Amino acid sequence: MLNINREQMSKLASEELKKQRNLLIVLAVLLFVGGIFCLINPMISGIAVSAILGILFIMSGLAILVSTFSSSLYSGWSKIFSFVIGVAYCTLGYSFIKDPIQSLVLLAIFVSVLFIIGGVVRLYVGFQQIKTSSGWVQILIGILDFVIAFLLIGNGPLTSITLLTTLIGIEMLFSAFSLFTLLSILKKNQS
């Protein structure tokens, strides 16, 4: 999710923001349309997300491999480690493209593990601050993290993919609305 701070916005040069305005409009519209599509048809958009992730992983892996062998910064173990990471990224990208459903299920498991870790941390912080109002909020959000994690991994692959794609769609919509907000701030500052 985009974090837009009005103080930081006022410090940016208005000329630079004008240059980026059209790009921000295109990005906001793409995020909005993609978010709606994820909510309307989660399975097909899940396959599209898997393909996009696969392409991005392959591109990242190739970039790591090229930089590993073309740069003099890498030597010895760092070169070997970078090579292994580059090959792993390419392999992961290939698997996302070759078997998108299985990859989305694994991605849902990974996201649920992140929710579980987040839930544990929030519960710990919440119980540390239990006497304050923010402590109860942290405990509530921690419990919700566990519920989302259970929904992601406890109801079968189809539900996992649907929920994961729905979460991606909601995130895309929030990012689009954040960009639209940024664009309206830019328009007000230009007036």
pLDDT in tens, 43-75: 999 999 999 999 999 999 999 999 888 877 777
Asked if residue 8 belongs to a domain, the reply is: no
Domain of residue 111, residue span: 14-190
Q: Which among 104-118, 121-135, 172-186 has the top mean pLDDT?
A: 104-118
Q: Is the pLDDT of residue 2 over 60?
A: no
Dmax (CA) of the chain: 57
CA distance 45 to 75: 42
Asked if residue 7 belongs to a domain, the reply is: no
Q: Which residue from 148, 18, 153, 165 is spatially nearest to 100, judged by alpha carbons?
A: 165
Asked if residue 117 belongs to a domain, the reply is: yes
Asked if residue 3 belongs to a domain, the reply is: no
pLDDT in tens, 89-118: 999 999 999 999 999 888 899 999 999 999
Asked if residue 2 belongs to a domain, the reply is: no
Lookup result for tokens 């919440």: 126
Name the pLDDT band for 165 (thresholds 50, 70, 90): very high
Is the separation of the CB atoms in 174 and 152 below 8 Å? no
Asked if residue 6 belongs to a domain, the reply is: no
The predicted model scores a pTM of: 0.73
Please count the structural domains in the chain.
1
Tokens representing residue 174 in the block: 């929030």
